[in-house]
Structure 1
């Protein structure tokens, strides 16, 4: 009976790769860059496919992201007023095709709870039942903008809820975050049969009066028009290209640069491209 040759090429390669994984996960030195390089090496060796590599890198990036980086900003929140009748808020529910809605009283800073669309089914089949929106509300959980995304994902899983209201340092509502927002950070954008073709309307999203979340692929022309600035469209096609040129190398997530009084922070990127930027403009006097 023959034994495996410990000096064979395949055995040596496999052993070396597993030794490197062990070192990256349990030995010294430990850092994200080494782990990402190891994952890229695994892809090149066809141990994993490109999609798996992207997902693993997405998981690694989650612990760097904060809720403010992925939340749906206040201006884009779809809400239901607690005083509305079913006839008044049902068109909003149907048109948005969402499954959860913050329910407000006076304004978006006063949230009474979360409406689950499925909770309306019992009344649809039994119209004789007296309906009070407040009777079917689920509790609304609050999270700060600065909360780490990986910690929020753990809470979502442990407590089995899928939406939280995001509040700023003063207690005002600044947006909403869902478990789908976190999953999209890992696996990329999740589309369903209700999603429409992206026409660029969400390329620039306000976070507050002077800060915006901007897709790196936003055309320079659109960026100039929105912010009333004059970046040279011959320098790059996208605002991400303008940032890359200014920095001079492929930056990492959380790197920052100021160009023409506009501050750019990279909130999402991979080894090949910029994905999302946080843009801060000078506050109006």
Structure 2
């Protein structure tokens, strides 16, 4: 999770903006334990344009939205609708931060991947490997994957894409290389693009050379 923390000066913050190019960042205390707020790049750029003193960036922070894994999707959408930022932190019962997600991530669980106007990704059709595995885009529809596999998958009605199914099953953002089992198949996240699942391999459980752990 890309974030900022207490003690970072304006130059360091702008360097992080340039490197990761997200629009919202959690701002932690100096120890990295407590989230003080969310810094939106737009708020900082407006302050810079107005010539404000930016020695201390804390006045620019927006209150964080904090949700648990158990928070239902409709409740999450409502909190985004009424909140001050479209980035939410996901915490476990003990309060430990598991990660963060944005409104677009949540919508993609429901409707499938939404194209970013700043991202140009060529989406190929599912590719069948010599070992029988399938390489699919995270935006591939569940229906299309089911046709490739020749079987139905246990996906809720509101989940339409492979990436959405993985997020629904894990209830958190995966890391590259993470594997889960769905209806006798291993789904392995091959590539992430920010908060989005970009490429996934699918293979039957028990196939030689799965590399599953």
TM range (shorter): 0.5 to 0.7
Indicate the structure with greater strand content.
2
For residue 190 of structure 1, report the CA deviation from its aligned partner: 2.3
Cα distance in 2 between the residues matched to 1:268 and 1:236: 22
Unaligned residue ranges in structure 1 (runs of 5+): 1-76, 200-216, 222-232, 255-266
Highest CA radius of gyration, 1 or 2? Answer: 1
4+ runs deviating over 6 angstroms: none
| Equivalent residue for 1:276, pick from 158, 165, 184 | 165
Give the structure 2 partner of residue 38 of structure 1.
none
Cα distance in 1 between the residues matched to 2:117 and 2:30: 33
Give the structure 2 partner of residue 26 of structure 1.
none
Aligned pairs (5 A) from 1:247-258: 249-253=151-155
For residue 196 of structure 1, report the CA deviation from its aligned partner: 4.9
Give the structure 2 partner of residue 104 of structure 1.
28
Indicate the structure with greater helix content.
1
Deviations 1:159-211 (A, max 9, x none): 35312110013211101122111222334322334325379xxxxxxxxxxxx
Give the structure 1 partner of residue 89 of structure 2.
165
Give the structure 2 partner of residue 234 of structure 1.
131
Cα distance in 2 between the residues matched to 1:186 and 1:92: 30
Deviations 1:123-162 (A, max 9, x none): 3234462531112111112110121112110222133531
For residue 82 of structure 1, report the CA deviation from its aligned partner: 2.0
Root-mean-square deviation over aligned CA pairs:
3.7
CA, structure 1 residues 268+220, in 2 after alignment: closer, same or farther (shift >3 Å)?
Answer: farther
Give the structure 2 partner of residue 84 of structure 1.
8
CA, structure 1 residues 191+92, in 2 after alignment: closer, same or farther (shift >3 Å)?
Answer: farther
Give the structure 1 partner of residue 107 of structure 2.
183
CA contact (8 A) 1:123 1:131 kept: no
For residue 98 of structure 1, report the CA deviation from its aligned partner: 2.2
For residue 248 of structure 1, report the CA deviation from its aligned partner: 7.3
Aligned length: 162
When the two structures are superposed, what TM-score results if normalisation uses the length of structure 2? 0.59
Give the structure 2 partner of residue 30 of structure 1.
none
Q: Secondary structure at the match of 1:189?
A: coil
Aligned pairs (5 A) from 1:14-163: 77-106=1-30, 108-127=32-51, 129-163=53-87
Unaligned residue ranges in structure 2 (runs of 5+): 137-141, 170-178, 182-212
Give the structure 2 partner of residue 37 of structure 1.
none
